[in-house]
């Protein structure tokens, strides 16, 4: 039987398991990378496992998120990451070198390989024909220590592309926004999106990467493109032609589902506040005043995207009422646009150039003002993520953004009277690897430097057989990890300090959460009740570790987002599912729930009776944990489980 690309890659890396949807499958991983905001935990956990060198062919530690150095905390983290990478045999990408996904695409992404990254936008590498999956830090740490990676085999969806984009004003960003409009932020849960069809030929690797990057917003496990002549062109321009292999599905390959997209029918699209799937045409919002425009992020900051933006801005002036911020995705891109005078065109037009990092995307500076409208070429517009709770953040393509910056309002870029030539990727990239420090053979003299804000990772006690806990919050659908564990310049510096960061859990939803959780901890702990797709968004395991630290024992939801579900398990919090969704509405904040025979039920029928003795109601919840996940939770999490040798490391 013909195989699709996903099956081919998994088959070539399989250690055991099946490839039918729902089967657990364990694979050998070729590449693991971390970024600083999740990486300090990942590396502390790696250290706690007690291995003397990484046991994957390639490991890279990036620094790109926590770049504002308003005190010692972020630079201390950078130094920790630099020294620990040196100690354990990983590459280190220095601060300022660029956003992990963009730099990884340029320097390391390879067709047919499997990569894990401690960031939800790791699927960017899917544009290169790599199976690139976002994971929590502890999953990355155990894989770096030599364990195979386990996933539950997703459904593989064929996204069949035909036609050609109406360049230059219609871009890959508009394609993924259109897919989000159709499928929603839940549309990809439990699925891998495999792109194919004649339209693939129209897209450069960096454009494909924009689409796979934002597959994260669909909730998809990952997204992947074939590796073809265009992939070879990109790799040749990047000086890595020898990394190329062809990759395409067999004739007769099977898919669980098929979606057809005609590229020529796509028009400029825009996501409205406060969700990336709240998508409409740009035209329909014509005339809306814009206060801020941000261009860049891991979604849209390739050389090609920046060149197009520079051409729009050239000879023009940013509107009086607009702040335009640009963060090129990597030092390489920044260096190239500087050498070619494109950065000068941006500056002359009035752009504020930021360093190559995540910046405003994660609220690290560049927050909009109160009630302001900010349009960004980024991937997430969750409420408050920009750093300003009452701002209105929209998402659009880099060229649409550039036009809005000039006009001061949303306008269909095709009708703005601006000339723009379609631009393709360069024949040769400027290759400067001086900011990527390769692993050393002899690491005996390396001392890992830990600043005073870097605290040990807390570990939970084994799972209790009776959970008696207070409902701390009852929430609706699509709760994001930004809701659970906010980011931004005030919170992110505490990523290496769980006691300190736990004060911010659910801060934007309920100021009193951490105080109430601490009180409840003394009397048995807390329970969180969620709706569908609980924990969508980022890979930050702090959204699990900090609640665990505050005594949360279980989360009961209608369904979970993949990475957050794994993070809960990895830190010993039991994820439970409503048997009947209607029970969600009966529960109230403050209810005291009792679940008995937890371990027996986990080992048996996986149905748990939940009682509320004071209100005398009961309902049932279930568990979908597989064998390994069950054993991990029972031990209190993946760290104690791995330390006992259960992961084979």
Q: Which residues are identified as catalytic? A: 64-65, 119, 380, 538, 540
Measuring CA to CA, which residue among 193, 437, 398 is closest to residue 313?
Answer: 398
Contact present, 58 and 93 (Cβ < 8 Å):
no
**Which does residue 297 bind out of ligand MIC, ligand SF4, none, counting CB within 5 to 8 angstroms by kind?**
ligand SF4
Q: Which of 119, 150, 194, 207 binds ligand SF4 (CB under 6 A)?
A: 119
Shortest distance in whole angstroms from residue 66 CB to ligand MIC = 9
The residue within the footprint of ligand SF4, chosen from 85, 354, 362, 396 (CB under 6 A), is: 362
Residue from the set 298, 310, 333, 420 that interacts with ligand SF4 by CB under 6 A: 298
Q: Is 210 in the site for ligand SF4 (CB under 6 A)?
A: no
Residue 268: CB partners within 8 Å, gap ≥ 6?
Answer: 169, 170, 174, 281, 282, 283, 396, 397, 400, 412, 413, 414
Instruction: For the CB of residue 172, give the shortest distance to ligand SF4 in the complex, in Å.
Output: 16
Read off the DSSP letter of residue 270: E
> Three-state SS for 93?
strand
Which CB atom, from 279 or from 638, has the smaller least distance to ligand SF4? 279
How far is C-alpha 282 from the chain's CA centre? 26
379 binding ligand SF4? (CB under 6 A): yes
Site membership for ligand SF4, residue 97 (CB under 6 A): no
Q: How far is the CB of 60 from ligand SF4 (least distance, A)?
A: 14
Say if residues 263 and 199 touch (Cβ distance below 8 Å): yes
Query: Which residue lies nearer to ligand SF4 by CB, 189 or 294?
Result: 294
The verdict on 297 binding ligand SF4 (CB under 6 A) reads: yes
Q: Shortest Cβ distance from residue 537 to ligand MIC (Å)? A: 6
Judge residue 210's burial from the number of C-beta atoms within 10 Å of its C-beta, 0-12 exposed, 13-18 middle, 19 or more buried. Answer: buried
Residue from 6, 214, 293, 361 in contact with ligand SF4 (CB under 6 A): 361
Q: How many angstroms separate the CA atoms of 358 and 365, rounded?
A: 10
Q: Which is nearer to ligand MIC, 388 or 423 (CB)?
A: 388
Starting from the edge strand earliest in sequence, which strands make up the sheet with 352-353, in order? 279-281, 269-271, 392-395, 373-376, 292-296, 323-327, 352-353
364 binds, among ligand SF4, ligand MIC, none (CB under 5 to 8 A by kind): none
* Complex with ligand SF4: residue 145 or 298, whichever CB lies closer: 298
**Cα–Cα dist 378/358, whole Å:** 10
The residues near 243 (Cβ < 8 Å, ≥ 6 apart) are: 110, 111, 235
Count of residues that interact with ligand SF4, criterion CB under 6 A: 11
Q: Is 386 in the site for ligand SF4 (CB under 6 A)?
A: no
Q: How far is the CB of 137 from ligand MIC (least distance, A)?
A: 9
Helix (H, G, I), strand (E, B) or coil at 484: helix
Q: What are phi and psi of 138, to 5 degrees?
A: -70, -35
**CB under 5 to 8 A by kind: which of ligand MIC, ligand SF4, none does 539 bind?**
ligand MIC
Q: How many contiguous H segments (helices) and E segments (strands) does the chain have?
A: 20, 27
| Site mask for ligand SF4 (CB under 6 A), range 587-626, x = bound | ----------------------------------------
- What CA–CA distance (Å, rounded) separates 476 from 474? 7
| Interaction partner, residue 540 (ligand MIC, ligand SF4, none; CB < 5-8 Å by kind) | ligand MIC
* Least distance (Å) between residue 567 CB and ligand MIC: 10
CB nearer to ligand SF4: give 378 or 641. 378
Scanning 315-323, 354-362, 462-470, 567-575 for contacts with ligand SF4 by CB under 6 A, the matching segment is: 354-362
Give the CB-nearest residue to ligand MIC.
538
Least separation in angstroms between CB 319 and ligand SF4: 25
| Interaxial angle between packed helices 100-107 and 205-213, expressed in degrees from 0 to 180 and rounded to the nearest 10 | 140
Residues from 267 through 296 that contact ligand SF4 (CB under 6 A): none
419 contact partners, CB below 8 Å, separation of at least 6 = none
- Cβ at position 11, least distance to ligand SF4 in Å: 30
Q: How many CB atoms lie within 10 A of CB 383?
A: 19
Q: 346: helix, coil or strand? A: helix
Least Cβ distance, residue 104 to ligand MIC (angstroms): 13
Q: Which does 99 bind (CB under 5 to 8 A by kind): ligand MIC, ligand SF4, none?
A: ligand SF4
DSSP string, 581-602: GGGGGG--TT-EEEE-SHHHHH
Q: How many CB atoms lie within 10 A of CB 320?
A: 7
Buried b (16+ CB within 10 A) or exposed e, 497-520: bbebbbebbbbbebeebbebbeeb
Q: Which residues bind ligand MIC (CB under 6 A)?
A: 37-38, 65, 119-121, 134, 362, 487, 537-540
Q: Could you tell me which stretch among 357-365, 392-400, 589-597, 608-616 binds ligand SF4 (CB under 6 A)?
A: 357-365
Q: Which does 327 bind (CB under 5 to 8 A by kind): ligand MIC, ligand SF4, none?
A: none
Cβ-proximal residues to 444 (8 Å cutoff; 6+ apart), any chain: none
Among 67, 85, 90, 99, binds ligand SF4 (CB under 6 A): 99
Residues that bind ligand SF4 (CB under 6 A): 65, 99, 119, 121, 297-298, 358, 361-362, 378-379
């Amino acid at each position: 039987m013909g195989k699709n690309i996903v099956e081919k890659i998994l088959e070539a890396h399989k250690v055991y398991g099946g490839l039918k949807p729902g089967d657990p499958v364990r694979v050998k991983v070729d590449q693991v990378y971390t970024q600083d905001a999740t990486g300090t935990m990942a590396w502390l956990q790696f250290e706690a496992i007690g291995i003397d060198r990484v046991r994957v062919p390639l490991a890279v530690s990036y620094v790109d998120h926590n770049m504002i150095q308003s005190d010692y905390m972020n630079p201390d983290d950078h130094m920790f990451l630099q020294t620990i990478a040196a100690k354990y045999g990983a590459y280190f990408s220095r601060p300022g070198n660029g956003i992990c996904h963009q730099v990884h695409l340029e320097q390391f992404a390879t067709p047919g390989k499997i990569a894990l990254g401690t960031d939800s936008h790791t699927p960017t590498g899917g544009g290169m024909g790599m199976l690139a999956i976002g994971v929590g830090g502890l999953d990355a740490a155990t894989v770096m220590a030599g364990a195979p990676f386990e996933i539950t085999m997703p459904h593989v969806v064929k996204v069949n592309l035909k036609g050609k984009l109406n360049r230059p004003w219609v871009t890959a960003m508009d394609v993924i926004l259109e897919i989000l409009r159709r499928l929603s932020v839940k549309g990809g849960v439990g699925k891998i999106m495999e792109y194919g069809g004649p339209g693939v030929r129209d897209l450069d690797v960096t454009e494909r990467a924009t689409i796979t990057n934002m597959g994260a917003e669909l909730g998809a496990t990952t997204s992947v493109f074939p590796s073809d002549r265009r992939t070879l062109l990109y790799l040749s321009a990047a000086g890595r032609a020898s990394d190329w292999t062809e990759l395409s599905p067999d004739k007769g390959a099977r898919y669980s589902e098929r979606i057809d997209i005609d590229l020529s029918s796509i028009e400029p699209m825009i996501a409205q506040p406060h969700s990336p799937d709240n998508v409409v045409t740009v035209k329909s919002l014509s005339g809306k005043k814009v206060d801020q425009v941000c261009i860049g992020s891991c979604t849209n900051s390739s050389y090609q995207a920046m060149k197009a933006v520079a051409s729009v801005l050239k000879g023009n002036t940013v509107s009086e009422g607009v702040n335009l911020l640009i963060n090129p995705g990597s030092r390489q891109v920044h260096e190239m646009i500087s050498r070619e005078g494109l950065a000068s065109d941006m500056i002359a037009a009035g752009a504020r150039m930021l360093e190559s990092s995540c910046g405003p995307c994660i609220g690290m500076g560049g927050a909009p003002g109160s009630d302001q409208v900010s349009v960004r070429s980024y991937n997430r517009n969750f409420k408050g993520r920009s750093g300003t709770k009452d701002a209105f953040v929209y998402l659009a393509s880099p060229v649409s953004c550039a036009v809005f910056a000039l006009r001061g309002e949303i306008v269909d870029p095709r009708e703005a009277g601006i000339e723009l030539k379609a631009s393709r990727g360069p024949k040769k990239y400027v290759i400067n690897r001086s900011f990527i420090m390769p692993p050393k053979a002899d690491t005996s003299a390396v001392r890992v430097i830990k600043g005073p804000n870097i605290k040990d990772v807390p570990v939970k006690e084994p799972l209790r057989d009776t959970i008696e806990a207070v409902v701390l919050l009852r929430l609706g659908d699509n709760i994001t990890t930004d809701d659970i564990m906010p980011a931004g310049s005030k919170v992110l510096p505490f990523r290496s300090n769980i006691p300190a960061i736990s004060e911010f859990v659910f801060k934007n939803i309920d100021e009193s959460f951490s105080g109430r959780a601490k009180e409840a901890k003394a009397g048995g702990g807390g329970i969180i009740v969620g709706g569908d797709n609980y924990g969508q968004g980022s890979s930050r395991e702090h959204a699990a570790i900090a609640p665990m630290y505050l005594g949360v024992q279980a989360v009961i939801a209608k369904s979970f987002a993949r990475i957050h579900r794994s993070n809960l398990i990895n830190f010993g919090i039991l994820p439970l599912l409503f048997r009947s969704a209607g029970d969600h509405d009966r529960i109230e904040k403050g209810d005291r729930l009792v679940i008995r025979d937890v371990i027996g039920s986990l080992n048996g029928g996986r149905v748990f009776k939940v009682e509320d003795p004071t209100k005398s109601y009961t309902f049932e919840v279930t568990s979908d944990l597989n064998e390994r996940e069950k054993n991990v939770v029972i031990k209190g999490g993946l760290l104690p489980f791995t330390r006992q040798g259960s992961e084979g490391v």
